[in-house]
Structure 1
Amino acid sequence: MCLGIPVQVIESGEHFARCLGQGGQEVRVDLALVGPQAPGTWLMTFLDAAREVISADHARMVNDALAALQAAERGETNFDAFFADLDREPQLPEFLRKAHP
């Protein structure tokens, strides 16, 4: 499985950027699909290659979801802090509601 990881550009060259990732880790990111980017730009990366430019809000939501995955791995069960933007109870998709009344 491959997860998209948001990173923020620190310094950009023509083909690669130096970026800040999760936990303050610096990563070298391939810019072949998005071109050179200004410092401060957020990128969605897969295997250290930028696939798209994203907003700071999108990066925050993805980072919160990744933090929730890490919390689940630790055995935590309260995820309210990670999904504060949700103002409703989670619901099963329609196709699963029919299968499990």
Structure 2
Amino acid sequence: MCIGIPMKVESLPYPGRAVCSGRGQTENLDVLMLGDVQIGEWVLAWNGMGTKIITEERARQVDAALDALEAAMNGQTPDVEDAFADIVANTGKLPPHLQAQLDKKEKH
């Protein structure tokens, strides 16, 4: 598992490259695998590459989780409920395809 850093596309200097900023840093990312990237969009960055286009809301969620991890690493006690709200909201829920299989099994 890797941790992507949410970054906002600031400029597109030439095809396949995007200058992006996030979490106090600026990077020139390879975005060839992402297709048509636009200025103002958010991407997850890992190892010099854009790995996925994400929404601004998702970027905030990832930032909150990374902030909590950083706080924990610095000996602080982060608010896990807020930092991982998207995970907490889905706790105890099966993905739709697994829920459908379970529902089908229970009918028999």
Note whether the superposition's TM-score is higher than 0.5. yes
Residues of 1 paired with 2:60 and 2:77: CA distance? 21
Does 2:29 correspond to 1:29? yes
**How many residues get paired?**
90
Does 2:41 correspond to 1:47? no
Q: CA RMSD in A?
A: 2.6
Deviation at 1:35, TM superposition (A): 2.6
Residues of 2 paired with 1:54 and 1:39: CA distance? 13
Q: State the structure with more CA Rg.
A: 2
Contact 2:61 2:84 in 1 (8 A): no
Contact 1:42 1:55 in 2 (8 A): yes
- Change over 3 Å in CA distance of 1:34–1:83 after alignment to 2: same
Contact 1:16 1:36 in 2 (8 A): no
Residues of 1 paired with 2:70 and 2:41: CA distance? 25
Among all aligned residue pairs of Structure 1 and Structure 2, give the percentage whose two residues are the same amino acid: 30
What residue number does 1:38 align with?
A: 38
Structure 2: gaps spanning 5 or more residues: 93-108
Q: Secondary structure at the match of 2:10?
A: strand
Deviation at 1:36, TM superposition (A): 4.0
TM-score, length basis structure 1: 0.74
Residues of 2 paired with 1:77 and 1:63: CA distance? 17
What residue number does 1:11 align with?
A: 11
Q: Normalized per residue, which structure has more helix?
A: 2
Residues of 2 paired with 1:19 and 1:69: CA distance? 22
Q: Secondary structure at the match of 1:33?
A: helix
Structure 1: gaps spanning 5 or more residues: 93-101
Residues of 1 paired with 2:53 and 2:84: CA distance? 24
